[in-house]
Amino acid sequence: MILLTRAEEIVLLAVYKLKENAYGVTIREQIHQDISRYWAFGVIYKTLKKMRDKGFVDKISGDPVAERGGRKKYFYRITPEGMKALEEIFNVHASLWGDMQPISMD
């Protein structure tokens, strides 16, 4: 069984949701949309590096862009192993929370 850290789960799910448009800025915006918090780019890129090392995402070089001063934009794509990891963490959550009622402070 593949268990993801919470950061890996959040970033990997953002990459999955963004499909072909997953790069640093859009990943950060997706995370903000999902959890209402802005993460530092350093945290996002460190997590992406760890997931590349594990084979969960690929890093793809885009063409140089004039508005970026001629620098390349790097995109991230989920791999089949990354999809498997997301499926497994989804099943873990479903198993853990499946029969729970909403938690309240009462």
73, exposed or middle or buried, with CB in 10 Å at 0-12, 13-18, 19+?
A: middle
- Write the pLDDT tens digit of every residue in 37-92: 999 999 999 999 999 999 999 999 987 777 767 788 899 999 999 999 999 999 99
**Helix residue ranges per DSSP H, 19-79:** 24-35, 41-54
| Fold annotation for 6-95 | Arc Repressor Mutant, subunit A (1.10.10)
Domain residue limits, the chain: 6-95
State the pLDDT at residue 36.
Answer: 96
CA separation for the pair 89, 74 (Å, rounded): 26
Banded pLDDT at 22 (limits 50, 70, 90): very high
pTM for the predicted model, two decimal places: 0.88
State the pLDDT at residue 63.
Answer: 78
81 to each of 11, 46, 53, how far by Cα in Å?
15, 19, 12
